[in-house]
Structure 1
Amino acid sequence: MKQSVVRSIRLPQAIALYVAAVIGAGVLLLPGLAASMAGPASILSWIFDCLLGIPLALTFAALASRYPDAGGVATFTARAFGSTTGAVTGWFYFIASIVGQMIVPLTGAYYIADTLRLGRDATFLIAAFILIIAIIPNLYGLRVSGRLALLLSACVALMLLIATLISLPRMRAAHWTPFAPHGLPAIGQAGVLIFFAFFGWEAIAQLSAEFSDPERDVPRSTLWSVALVTILYLGVAIATIGTGTYGTLALDRVSVARLLSDALGLGAGTVAAVMALVISLGTVNAYVAASSRLGYALARDGALPIWLERLDRQEVPRRSLLAIGVVALLGLGATYLLDWSAGSLLSIPNSLGIATYVVGTAAGARLLAGLARWLAAASCLLCLAIFFFAGASIAIPLITAALALLYLRWCRRLPDHNAPDDVVES
């Protein structure tokens, strides 16, 4: 009998998983970095990227509710452009997710190790610990990991909201002048920098098959999440600028944590460490859940080794989950041995993530209809524009595509499906 995943995600868990996938450890860095780069005018960059995230989120929500499957974006692109394109896109996102599961816990570990004055060895051990802790609840299915996501997302939202509210009395109009000290180019550069804070809308597509009612709850959870993420991001950006909590590299790294620490009477490093731990755990928990489903679906469809297709008695893709965890842990070990940092790995998921967005939104422009089609087309053009800023890292998706095609040619397992003609009515 054909195995399939269990539908257990309800609306609160869906919103929590979305928020955890989108709000990563970058929220601790980006408000200060963007403000230092563009001055108070960086708020325009935040507003632009928040608006840009809306059509992206709605496009993936429309596709996920229409085609709920563990393959997520790989399934959409296979339906739009054929199974080979779907498999290559799946590889883009699968590799980006695994590398992301190295970067996120390592970023959180930096904050914790810095506060405790620990060395490099301890930093990588903490990163491995965060990754393992995020994997364990996923072994018991989304009913368990979804509850963890709900708890962690609530903590993250509460901390960011408190950081904004307690900063209101300390905001000064003088901190908003001069408004654009570095000119229009800096505003654009800040927009490119913080665009990566909006990755994550595509992650939940892999979990859509496990929504109790995907047709209803995917769009609803997307709208709630877009509103929540926008409020939290704009809130901390306004608070950072309005209080002048930026300007040096050391301060930029803990700007959001400083907003909390100044009111609570704690050290900024301590607050940053706690926030980093909660945020990184939540993000890794969401991405482990999503990427393990994608690995299962790619194996099912012939784009990865078939032994990853197996589900356990609880219908959890445990083999895929454990394989991803082992690869990510080995990747952390290699990063340690090669003396790399989280920043040195960032171009891999960034370039692959943008490539995934380009192909996924192009699939939306083909499969959807009415307003949804126009939103997908607009998102695709905007992602293409951003892709040109990728520089030399544009080679990463090209190399990944070549490896995927070589694997498919070697295995000859991928069925030759034609793109369907069905579209979604608006």
Structure 2
Amino acid sequence: MSFARSLLRVKPAEQLSSEGSHSELNRTLGLVPLVALSVGATLGTGIFVVLAEAAPAAGPAVVVSFVLAGLAALCSALSYAELAGSVPVSGSAYSYTYATLGEIIAWICGWCLLLEYGVSVAAVAVGWGGYLNEFLQGTIGVTIPDALAAPPGEGGVVNVPAAIVVLLATAVLLLGVRESAWATTVTTVLKIAVLVFFVAVAFTAFNSGNLTPFAPAGVAGISVGASAVFFSFIGFDAASTAGEEARNPKRDLPRAIILSLVIVTAIYVLVAFAAVGAVGAGALGESDASLATALRMVTGQGWPAVVLALGAVIAIASVVLTVLYGQTRILVSMSRDGLVPPVLARVNRRAVPARNTLLVGVLVAVLAAVVPLNQLAEATSIGTLVAFGLVNIGVVVLRRTRPELPRSFRTPLMPFVPLLGLALCAYLITGLDAVTWLTFAIWTLLGLAVYFGYGRRKSRLNAPAE
């Protein structure tokens, strides 16, 4: 096989599905846990954390920013749903790309997913520390010193709370997938209840004057806001990382992906509208714990903010748990394909990839402790947008190359929907800062060095030729 052909060799969908069906992971998850997994991985990241970054840029039109980002995510979600029903394995976009676009593209996609999942966990953990401070201050009058609650560059030395929540989530994952799914479902229900509480209180102080001027920075501001809040949609694909732990993956994975995105988008738009209408877009940018601050301004009392902060502390911890889970399962797939060391696919007696989980947990905890939130969020967005774009291309390619492949869900209006998803991903990428592009370029070059130094030689697709 020539060098060029070896880079573009695909792994047949049947082979991927066969390996997934013989996985050592336990099939214990039904539709409800899968929806909770995706909603749990998504809901909270943007509303509790990134709204403070996006609202000042877009103004009241941040609501439109959420809709635009949700549309981009929906097009990609429909592509994900078709591929999840066709190739029901744990690798998510990495495995789908391997079956459609070839090994080198799959590697780049998997490498982007490692950036997306790992860095988004760290970013959420940083935001968790802000709400923990809000809760502690409102209950016992204690605030964690900046030196121990913020990374370098933001007035601190090390973000201890962020590292702690990552390590706690790692410990829960080591208990097993059934226990992790139970914890995710409970915290997701709590998270939705807390946001409903926020909307109910915020609408009591709704002032239409806070919605004007609606788009002070015009289309450019909406675009910048959409690029920032797209970070908050990361995680709807989490169910696709559980392809080998779902009881009926062909039926339930597509349903879970689409249902979770619809639920999350509706809540985001409602909460953003209520928040801006109650206190104005500018006020939301004054604190990382923006929703808790908004409640204090609306009510003039501390207890509603404490209730929201407690809910956020628990709820954002569930995002850390579920996204960390997704990253470990993607590494399992990459390891099984030989592209990363085989130790990362080994499971213990609880059917948990323990060494993989410990390694990821420790690395992400360190990242969360020392890197500022805004840099983490944008680095996550670019990795996600690239992965989503590849999935949109992959679903079109698989339709043309394997039209006979059984599909439990078919993306409507093919190829318009995936091509629109690809175009929207490209549009949102243009709104990211130059430093984000530089970070991504360095990450990609590092990934290619790892692939050519290790992955290409160790790939299991080399086995028949050896």
Match of 2:74 in 1: 54
Are 2:148 and 2:160, in contact at CA under 8 Å, matched by a contact in 1?
Answer: yes
What residue identity is the alignment partner of 2:209? A
Matching of residues 242-281 of structure 1 within 5 Å: 242-248=277-283, 251=286, 253-261=288-296, 262-263=298-299, 265-266=301-302, 270-271=306-307, 273-281=309-317
TM-score (normalised: structure 1): 0.88
Question: What fraction of aligned residue pairs are identical, expressed as a percent?
Answer: 23
- Pair 1:405 & 2:448 matched: yes
* Aligned-pair CA distance for 1:78: 0.6
1:344 aligned residue:
375
Q: Distance in 1 between matches of 2:299 and 2:256?
A: 33
Q: 3-state SS of the aligned residue for 1:313?
A: coil
1:414 to 431, 453, 459: 459
The one-letter code matched in structure 1 to 2:200 is L
CA contact (8 A) 1:55 1:379 kept: yes
- CA distance in 1 between counterparts of 2:397 and 2:25 reads 27
Match of 2:251 among 216, 224, 246: 216
Find the counterpart in structure 1 of residue 436 from structure 2: 393
**Distance in 2 (alpha carbons) for counterparts of 1:38 and 1:386:** 14
Q: Deviations over 1:62-81 (max 9, x none)?
A: 21121111211111111111
SS in 1 for 2:243: helix
Give the corresponding residue for 2:163.
128
Work out whether residues 117 and 327 of structure 2, in 8 Å CA contact, stay in contact via their aligned partners in 1. Answer: yes
Greater shift, 280-289 or 113-122, is seen at 113-122
Deviation at 1:27, TM superposition (A): 1.0
1:27-426 pair list within 5 angstroms: 27-113=47-133, 115=137, 116-123=142-149, 124-248=159-283, 251=286, 253-261=288-296, 262-263=298-299, 265-266=301-302, 270-271=306-307, 273-332=309-368, 335=370, 340-368=371-399, 371=412, 373-390=415-432, 391-411=434-454, 412-416=457-461
With the length of structure 2 as denominator, give the TM-score of the two structures: 0.81
The amino acid of 2:42's aligned partner reads V
Q: What 5-or-longer segments of structure 1 have no aligned partner?
A: 418-426
Cα contact 1:111–1:269 (8 A) shared by 2: no
Query: In the TM superposition, what is the alpha-carbon distance from 1:382 to its structure 2 partner?
Result: 1.3
For structure 2, the residue ranges without an aligned partner over 5 or more in a row are: 1-18, 150-158, 400-409
Q: Quote the RMSD (CA, aligned, Å).
A: 2.6
Q: How many residue pairs were aligned? A: 412
* Distance in 2 of aligned mates of 1:273 and 1:244: 18
The aligned residue for residue 13 of structure 2 is: none
Alpha-carbon shift at residue 271 of structure 1 (Å): 4.4
1:49 aligned partner, one-letter code: A
Give the C-alpha shift of residue 33 in structure 1.
4.5
Offset of 1:121 from its aligned partner? 4.8
Q: Could you tell me how far apart the structure 1 residues matched to 2:449 and 2:54 are? A: 40
Over residues 30-82 of structure 1, what are the superposed CA-to-partner deviations in whole Å (9 max), with x where a residue is unaligned? 44554433333332222222233221222212211211112111111111111
Deviates more, 1:130-139 or 1:90-99: 90-99
Structure 1 pair 254/132, CA: closer, same or farther in 2 (3 Å)? Answer: closer
